[in-house]
């Protein structure tokens, strides 16, 4: 009786953990909606403080976006492997988005369009708006 109770309690202790692992593996192929929302919010705040934008397209890499803020700091967004990385003054590496297959940017004097495709093929589109013009180098 005690052995049966022990095995039954062991089963109920392990079953929720196994279920959580299976759910995590399904979602790990794409972006989370909250992750995308936080990313767009951060880009929107930074884009309003930009004095200069440079979009660079290296031959063997995806797009690279470089901002120069009014404070003089230089913020860079680049895709490394399947992650979108943010650097400030070419230091550090903050992972902004994970499971990214492709990223592209389109910059105008007032708008920044961001298109991201995750590993599962889902496409995310975002827009950052500013009210004053800025200098652009493409």
- Assess whether pLDDT exceeds 90 at residue 49: no
Between residues 88 and 1, the one the model is more confident about: 88
Span 10-35, average pLDDT: 67
Q: For residue 98, give the nearest of 121, 81, 123 by alpha carbon.
A: 81
Per domain, the residue ranges of the chain are 1-29, 33-137
H helices of the chain, where?
2-27, 33-48
Name the phi and psi angles at 51, rounded to 5.
-110, -20
Cβ–Cβ < 8 Å for 55, 138: yes
Supply the pLDDT for residue 125: 95
């Amino acid at each position: 009786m005690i052995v049966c109770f022990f095995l039954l309690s062991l089963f109920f202790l392990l079953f929720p953990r196994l279920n959580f692992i299976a759910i995590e593996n399904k979602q790990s192929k794409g972006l989370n909606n909250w992750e995308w929302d936080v990313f767009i919010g951060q880009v929107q705040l930074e884009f309003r403080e930009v004095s200069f934008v440079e979009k660079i397209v290296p031959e063997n890499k995806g797009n690279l976006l470089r901002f120069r803020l009014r404070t003089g700091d230089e913020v860079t967004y680049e895709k490394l492997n399947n992650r979108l990385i943010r650097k400030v003054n070419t230091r550090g590496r903050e992972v902004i988005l994970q499971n990214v297959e492709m990223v592209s940017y389109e910059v105008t004097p007032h708008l920044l369009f961001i298109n991201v495709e995750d590993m599962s093929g889902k496409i995310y589109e975002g827009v950052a708006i500013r009210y004053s013009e800025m200098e652009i180098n493409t």
